[in-house]
């Protein structure tokens, strides 16, 4: 098994503890890599390196255009390594090679877009209401940013944080998930090759409690950019609040895919299937609730079952596989628990409902694509994030009822609407409490379009121009231009 090292201050280092843990391939359920088990001491070193790189040396002296050029060079290197990185991700987290290749080929765009944006961040000259002074603003970086990423799309979600953070001039300490660290450690080499000064990007691996917590609570960390579960996100927010730190939190959801009776049902069936079974349901934007208009309900469910039954399960490295394993053992157990909960609540299991024991599934953590009907909106299976291939189907009668059910969870990440009516599309886009609304499509994201959650799905936005503002702070500068001190005893 290959043993990896962490990146601190431009050097590849062992953890201070000397300890390593195994990363497991979800398809074979066998360990395949040894990951450094970082701790508090490593956090001290990495944050010190990031702080020093922020204040001294080459990085703060670079023009914004030069920073942008480094990001564009990084983009080219990622593009050249895309296939190799995709294979690592697929081996480490069990997601389909086709999906990971698609992500890796798209990731360079985040670095190009924010590289291009780096020198378009401008302050303002304010036509101030006071005589004899000149007032302008500067947009400045925050300092050291902690980026904490999950296992489902490790490099994509890191790019969403690192590209704007670096474009804005911050330095970064990045902690990937303990379940998918290898791609981060290999990716780290590209920062060196692109020419980033040492310490601008540092990578620490290990467990959330041992590396993540000391990183978040460290006095020299200015901001935490986190993607993961809402419970962990809540804890991250509490820790950050004690230090009055900035956060962006991207925390998953219980997104509704709403099919009206005027929809193109062939397209809608594909959209609902792709919303929940692509990526084995392990995405924050999974359309885990299908809301179907009563008049097309029976016909739609039959088509849904027919299409879902055709899903080919198997080795995620095989390009023909459509549904891979669940990434982690705890996740596998959590999904099985939710299937039992749904059955206990009286939902009707129409497809799947358990382990997939087929030869093509190896010894991996596979769960059959599962569809429940007879689901009521208040059931736990319709309220809580499962993060697996489990769909809850709920009928509705009116637009009003669809909106009420769709908005009736604690989450608000995304929603899908299937209709031919432009009036209905626009009305639903307005009324749905979600950071993203897709009409007649699902699972589309872009480096150009802001992404984030309403309600318990998160705080702040990633991607698009909005994202760079999350990594900047505004300074107001006042300059006297008349040269005589006004009355020192009153405010100017
Ligand atoms: P977590 O939210 O626990 O993990 C996300 C990241 O946070 C990982 O890097 C993790 O490290 C880190 N972390 C965990 N605990 C802490 C802590 N106390 N302080 C600082 N960092 C911490 O996700 P899980 O893997 O446990 O999955 C749990 C649930 O979260 C899933 O079932 C799913 O519902 C949801 N989820 C949502 C995602 C999304 O895209 N929104 C992505 C992944 C999960 P480590 O891996 O070492 O624990």
Count of structural domains within the chain: 2
Active site residue 284: yes
Half-sphere exposure of residue 473, counting CA atoms within 13 Å on the CB side? 12
If asked whether residues 153 and 217 sit together in one domain, one would say yes
- Asked whether residue 490 is assigned to any structural domain, the reply reads no
If asked whether residues 232 and 346 sit together in one domain, one would say no
Best mutation site among 43, 150, 173, 217 for ligand 1 pocket (most ligand atoms within 8 Å of CB): 150
Average pLDDT over residues 268-293: 96
If asked whether residues 163 and 42 sit together in one domain, one would say yes
If asked whether residues 97 and 243 sit together in one domain, one would say yes
Between the CA of 249 and the centroid of ligand 1 the distance, in Å, is 11
DSSP assignment of 317-350 equals TSTT-SB---SSHHHHHHHHHHHHHHHHTT-EEE
Between the CA of 374 and the centroid of ligand 1 the distance, in Å, is 31
Tell me, using a 6 A CB cutoff, whether residue 213 lines ligand 1: yes
Q: What is the pTM of this model?
A: 0.96
Q: Report the candidate in 29, 33, 24, 28 with the shortest Cα–Cα distance to residue 2.
A: 33
Question: What pLDDT sits at residue 185?
Answer: 98
Between the CA of 231 and the centroid of ligand 1 the distance, in Å, is 9
Tell me, using a 6 A CB cutoff, whether residue 292 lines ligand 1: no
Tell me, using a 6 A CB cutoff, whether residue 99 lines ligand 1: no
- Asked whether residue 106 is assigned to any structural domain, the reply reads yes
- Asked whether residue 379 is assigned to any structural domain, the reply reads yes
Best mutation site among 208, 226, 247 for ligand 1 pocket (most ligand atoms within 8 Å of CB): 208
Gap between the Cα atoms of 158 and 167, Å rounded = 14
Burial of 357 (0-12, 13-18, 19+ CB in 10 A): exposed
If asked whether residues 381 and 243 sit together in one domain, one would say no
If asked whether residues 45 and 151 sit together in one domain, one would say yes
Question: What pLDDT sits at residue 490?
Answer: 85
Q: Of 81, 284, 385, 462, which one is the catalytic site residue?
A: 284
Task: Name all contacts of 441-445 with Cβ < 8 Å and 24+ positions apart.
Answer: 441/271, 441/416, 442/257, 442/271, 442/272, 442/274, 442/275, 442/287, 442/416, 443/274, 443/275, 443/278, 443/283, 443/285, 445/285
Between the CA of 205 and the centroid of ligand 1 the distance, in Å, is 13
Position 492 pLDDT exceeds 90: no
Q: Report the candidate in 433, 437, 439 with the shortest Cα–Cα distance to residue 450.
A: 437
The enclosing H or E element of 100 equals: helix 97-117
Between the CA of 20 and the centroid of ligand 1 the distance, in Å, is 20
Question: What pLDDT sits at residue 474?
Answer: 98
Sign of the torsion angle spanned by Cα atoms 454, 455, 457, 461: positive
The enclosing H or E element of 1 equals: none
- Asked whether residue 334 is assigned to any structural domain, the reply reads yes
Residue with CA closest to ligand 1 atom 16 = 208
Position 484 pLDDT exceeds 90: no
DSSP β-ladder status, 472-480 and 133-141: antiparallel
Position 486 pLDDT exceeds 80: no
Active site residue 361: no
Least confident of 187-196, 326-335, 407-416, 480-489: 480-489
Q: Which tens digit of pLDDT belongs to each residue from 407-437? A: 999 999 999 999 999 999 999 999 999 999 9
| Distance separating the N- and C-terminal Cα atoms of the chain | 68
If asked whether residues 122 and 192 sit together in one domain, one would say yes
Share of the chain above pLDDT 90, in %: 93
- Asked whether residue 445 is assigned to any structural domain, the reply reads no
Domain of residue 69: give its range. 2-251+457-476
Share of the chain above pLDDT 70, in %: 100
**Cβ contact 253:437 at 8 Å:** no
Q: What single-letter DSSP state applies at residue 212?
A: I
Report helix, strand or coil for 119: helix
Gap between the Cα atoms of 275 and 418, Å rounded = 13
- Asked whether residue 481 is assigned to any structural domain, the reply reads no
Best mutation site among 212, 232, 329 for ligand 1 pocket (most ligand atoms within 8 Å of CB): 232
Gap between the Cα atoms of 369 and 333, Å rounded = 15
Question: What pLDDT sits at residue 161?
Answer: 98
Report helix, strand or coil for 210: helix
Gap between the Cα atoms of 336 and 155, Å rounded = 27
- Asked whether residue 409 is assigned to any structural domain, the reply reads yes
Q: Which tens digit of pLDDT belongs to each residue from 3-25? A: 999 999 999 999 999 999 999 99
Residue with CA closest to ligand 1 atom 42 = 228
Q: What is the CATH number of the domain that holds 167?
A: 3.40.605.10
- Asked whether residue 492 is assigned to any structural domain, the reply reads no
76: left (phi > 0), else alpha (psi -120 to 50), else beta?
A: alpha
Q: Of 250, 368, 385, 470, which one is the catalytic site residue?
A: 250
For the CA of 212, the closest atom of ligand 1 is: 20
Residue with CA closest to ligand 1 atom 43 = 228
Gap between the Cα atoms of 383 and 377, Å rounded = 7
If asked whether residues 432 and 387 sit together in one domain, one would say yes
If asked whether residues 242 and 261 sit together in one domain, one would say no
Q: Which tens digit of pLDDT belongs to each residue from 321-375? A: 999 999 888 999 999 999 999 999 999 999 999 888 888 888 889 999 999 999 9
How would you list the strands of the sheet with 2-3, edge to edge?
2-3, 30-36, 20-25
Tell me, using a 6 A CB cutoff, whether residue 251 lines ligand 1: yes
Residue with CA closest to ligand 1 atom 8 = 177
Question: What pLDDT sits at residue 363?
Answer: 85
For the CA of 252, the closest atom of ligand 1 is: 41
Mean pLDDT of the chain: 96
Question: What pLDDT sits at residue 361?
Answer: 87
Please state, as a whole number, how many other Cβ atoms lie within 10 Å of the Cβ of residue 481. Answer: 8
Average pLDDT over residues 88-104: 93
Tell me, using a 6 A CB cutoff, whether residue 229 lines ligand 1: yes
The enclosing H or E element of 214 equals: helix 213-217
If asked whether residues 238 and 263 sit together in one domain, one would say no
If asked whether residues 78 and 18 sit together in one domain, one would say yes
If asked whether residues 234 and 350 sit together in one domain, one would say no
Question: What pLDDT sits at residue 360?
Answer: 86
Q: What is the CATH number of the domain that holds 327?
A: 3.40.309.10
């Amino acid at each position: 098994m290959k043993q990896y090292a962490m990146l601190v201050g431009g050097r590849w280092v062992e953890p201070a503890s000397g300890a390593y843990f195994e990363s497991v391939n979800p398809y074979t359920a066998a360990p395949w890599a040894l990951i450094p088990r970082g701790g508090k001491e490593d956090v001290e070193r990495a944050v010190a390196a990031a702080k020093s790189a922020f204040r001294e040396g080459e990085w703060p002296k670079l023009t914004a255009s030069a920073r942008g050029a480094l990001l564009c060079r990084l983009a080219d290197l990622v593009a050249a390594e895309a296939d190799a990185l995709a294979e690592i991700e697929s081996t480490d987290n069990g997601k389909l090679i086709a999906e990971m290749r698609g992500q890796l080929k798209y990731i360079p765009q985040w670095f190009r877009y924010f590289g291009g944006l780096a020198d378009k961040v401008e302050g303002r000259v304010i036509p101030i209401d006071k005589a004899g002074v000149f007032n302008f603003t500067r947009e400045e970086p925050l300092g050291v940013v902690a980026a904490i990423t999950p296992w489902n799309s490790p490099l994509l979600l890191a790019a969403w944080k690192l590209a704007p953070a670096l474009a804005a001039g911050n330095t970064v300490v990045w902690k990937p998930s303990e379940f998918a660290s290898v791609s981060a450690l290999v990716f780290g080499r590209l920062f060196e090759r692109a020419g980033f000064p040492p310490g601008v990007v540092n990578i620490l691996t290990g467990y959330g409690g041992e590396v993540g917590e000391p990183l978040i609570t460290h006095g020299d960390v200015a901001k935490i950019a986190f993607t993961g579960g809402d419970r962990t996100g809540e804890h991250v927010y509490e820790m950050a609040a004690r230090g009055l730190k900035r956060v962006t939190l991207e925390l998953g959801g219980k997104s509704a895919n709403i099919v009206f009776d005027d929809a193109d049902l062939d397209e809608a069936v594909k959209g609902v299937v792709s919303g929940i079974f692509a990526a084995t349901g392990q995405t924050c934007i999974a359309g885990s609730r299908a809301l179907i208009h009563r008049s097309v309900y029976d016909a739609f469910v039959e088509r849904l079952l027919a299409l879902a039954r055709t899903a080919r399960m198997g080795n995620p490295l095989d390009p023909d596989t459509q549904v891979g394993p669940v990434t982690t053992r705890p996740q596998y157990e959590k999904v099985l628990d939710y299937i039992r909960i749904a059955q206990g609540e009286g939902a009707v299991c129409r497809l799947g409902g358990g382990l997939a024991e087929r030869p093509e599934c190896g010894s991996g953590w596979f769960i059959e694509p599962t569809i429940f009907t007879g689901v009521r909106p208040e059931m736990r299976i319709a309220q809580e994030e499962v993060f697996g291939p489990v769909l809850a189907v709920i009928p509705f009668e009116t637009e009003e009822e669809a909106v009420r059910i769709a908005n009736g969870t604690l989450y608000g990440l995304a929603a899908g609407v299937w209709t031919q009516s432009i009036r209905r599309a626009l009305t639903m886009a307005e009324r749905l409490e979600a950071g993203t609304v897709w009409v007649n499509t699902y699972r589309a994201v872009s480096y150009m379009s802001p992404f984030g959650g309403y309600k318990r799905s998160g705080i702040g936005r990633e991607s698009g121009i909005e994202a760079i503002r999350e990594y900047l702070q505004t300074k107001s500068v006042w300059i006297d231009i008349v040269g005589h001190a006004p009355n020192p005893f009153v405010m100017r």
